[in-house]
Structure 1
């Protein structure tokens, strides 16, 4: 996450505090605190809506889209927490005068917004709820945000809507509302405007490699980036982010290597056909290969090979030695293994290390260090795979001398929880409840 983006959000939240502090001499402090917290909630939700647009320029301010989605999630959760606090602490200021029907209506809007946001945020963080249900309910978040904005605009408060602070808050909220409406527009109207057609479909291990050719100019991308794709077919209707598993070329062909992880992607092999249309967004992401003279170690788990397949197409630009640790269940599951082997033969500084878990070849810090002979103090590591393995390897490699900042990864998840399972496990262990009926029930809930 880039500091500039965090600074902008922080300043937007702190600015109302500066304006509210002098009011403490005229009004009760507790209601003022409650009102300020309510304003912070509005600003947090507005920025969450803005970040959801994926507009060009956001990555320059906030960092890669993977980090933007993390910030989007926590702004939403933080905004809800602020709303709950605001609702708990009485925000009424009798000194402002007698309440009107308009004030009562604003209170009702606030209550509607509160309950709606609580329900939708719970659906978001409880990740066992089906993706399709979550996707459609998540779009409703903006409607309750609009109700919150109307609540703020109509409620009695010590600062007028036409004051610089009040106007500034309404402008930020207005941008949030416009962003929500923009995100609701059909895919392809502003996003996914670039037209492609399916040129080739290949089976790659346990995955499917779909090559697209542009109908016009196509998009510009860099190795390691991803794009949002929607195929013009009833059976594959959802829009998904897929890493482009091919380095850029003059023809601007794109290749997406897809593993069946959800209902939509499971239909690919059966429903997709050469010649079908597709709509592709611009390329996103800041996941890049280090090309200097220090040793590089690429670590891929399963379909996490996709960015490294693209990196391998640019090995001629790499000065140092490059090691690829590729973890699969068995060799037959490995996507793009043949082209990686060909690259290994073509470039003396490139070496593929295949870890087959089905044969007991587990990828651990020790097994990686046994096969990859590098000075970890100098190495640059790039990782793509499950979070649990990522954290285990990062901790182990840092213990062997790797600088933490030299462990690069992309934390891309459109939908993720807040670590409820970890918190529950810690609670059970902390209070000696990690055995018995309660732990059994939680174990069933995890399945």
Structure 2
């Protein structure tokens, strides 16, 4: 996450306080706090709407899209908390004017926005709900933003819409509305690259999907991902996949899909040669580390490393790829990686089969990679494995700054399960003591 993007959000949330001392004169402090919570919620939601557009400047301001989506999630949750507090804490003040039908409508839309957003946040953090259903419900978040903007514009408040703070909030509402209109526009009106599937091949437990551009191709760097929408078979929702091939002269692409979730399971069963594909991207900054590197891949997490291995210059610093799989028969792209390692003297491939060797851990790295402390470590794989490596690598000379990964989780929970597990472990430890 870029510090500039976080600073921009912080400044935008704090800016109302520039005009607050003048507005606060002779006003109820508690009601004023509730009023600010409403403004803060709108500002956070506007940022969330902008991030959802995936405009080119979003990564430039906030950082790689995988990290930016985490900010998108917490902005949504933060705005929900602010709205709940705003609704709970009485924001009414005396002497602001009389209520009209327009004011009453604004109050009603504010209530609808509150409960609608609350339901959407619950659906978002309840990760057991299928991805395509969550994606469908997520479309309504912009509508509830519009309701909230209407509520703000026409509700009784201690300043006018034409005052400096009012004009600032006008800008916030307009930006959020434009972002929502963009994301809601028909797919044909938004820029997309068009492809056609040329081959579908089995790769262990996954499938590799090769595709060729039918128009202007997407231009990507090795290690990036894009959003793909497959025509037919009920696969209309775009889904992110890492591009598992290096950039080519003809702009052809390949993705590798493992049946790990609701949509990816359907994708792996439903794709066929000749099927049309729309792409949006590319995104991500993974693989930009320089110098000697250790790549750790687990299962289908090997996909960015296949592309990076293809693009690795023969005169680059040495790279060791530790490929962790249950056994070699279900290892996607293993033969391809073995061939690349045979051609490139600076690429070493180590296959770690957990069925024979047990689970891979950071403790195994010093024996596999000489001079480990001078290497950058790049990881792509399951979240629990990433967390374990992040905790254990410093014990072996790899600092947190030298550990790079892509948080490829467009939809995540809020850590309730992890908190419950931690509390249970603490309880067990105290009981044992």
- Measured against the shorter chain, the TM-score band is over 0.9
Distance 2:402 2:345 in 1: 24
Distance 1:420 1:434 in 2: 21
CA contact (8 A) 1:323 1:372 kept: yes
Moved more, 219-228 or 139-148: 139-148
Cα deviation code 1:299-333 (max 9, x no counterpart): 10111000000010122255321100111111011
Distance 2:356 2:272 in 1: 35
Distance 1:270 1:110 in 2: 44
Report what 2:96 is aligned to.
96
C-alpha deviation, 1:95, in angstroms: 2.6
Structure-to-structure mapping, 1:46-65, within 5 angstroms: 46-65=46-65
Report what 1:399 is aligned to.
395
Report what 1:169 is aligned to.
169
Cα deviation code 1:260-300 (max 9, x no counterpart): 123332234543222221111121111124343xx210010
1:327 partner SS? strand
Distance 2:430 2:181 in 1: 46
CA contact (8 A) 1:47 1:176 kept: yes
Work out which of the residue numbers 344, 348, 356 in structure 2 matches 1:347. 344
1:332–1:187: structure 2 CA closer, same or farther, 3 Å change rule?
A: farther
Report what 2:422 is aligned to.
426
Structure-to-structure mapping, 1:213-224, within 5 angstroms: 213-224=212-223
Report what 1:439 is aligned to.
none
Provide the TM-score with structure 1 as the length reference: 0.92
CA contact (8 A) 1:210 1:257 kept: yes
C-alpha deviation, 1:414, in angstroms: 1.4
Moved more, 145-154 or 267-276: 267-276
Structure-to-structure mapping, 1:40-189, within 5 angstroms: 40-189=40-189
Report what 1:297 is aligned to.
294
Report what 1:365 is aligned to.
362
Distance 2:138 2:168 in 1: 27
Matched, 1:389 2:389: no
CA contact (8 A) 2:131 2:263 kept: no
Distance 1:43 1:422 in 2: 30
Report what 1:337 is aligned to.
334
1:53–1:348: structure 2 CA closer, same or farther, 3 Å change rule?
A: same
Moved more, 235-244 or 268-277: 268-277
Distance 1:350 1:285 in 2: 23
CA contact (8 A) 2:314 2:344 kept: no
CA contact (8 A) 2:135 2:237 kept: no
C-alpha deviation, 1:155, in angstroms: 0.6
Moved more, 209-218 or 302-311: 209-218
Report what 2:271 is aligned to.
272
Cα deviation code 1:101-158 (max 9, x no counterpart): 3322222222111111111111111111222221111111111111111110011111
Report what 2:284 is aligned to.
285
Distance 2:30 2:269 in 1: 61
Distance 2:267 2:117 in 1: 35
**Once superposed, what is the RMSD of the aligned Cα atoms?**
1.9
2:287 partner SS? coil
Provide the TM-score with structure 2 as the length reference: 0.95
1:103–1:269: structure 2 CA closer, same or farther, 3 Å change rule?
A: closer
Distance 2:17 2:85 in 1: 16
Report what 1:309 is aligned to.
306
CA contact (8 A) 1:244 1:254 kept: yes
CA contact (8 A) 1:326 1:355 kept: yes
Distance 1:319 1:402 in 2: 21
2:277 partner SS? strand
Structure 2: state its 5+ residue gaps. none
Distance 2:91 2:345 in 1: 69
CA contact (8 A) 2:323 2:352 kept: yes
CA contact (8 A) 1:291 1:317 kept: no
CA contact (8 A) 1:201 1:209 kept: yes
1:382–1:249: structure 2 CA closer, same or farther, 3 Å change rule?
A: same
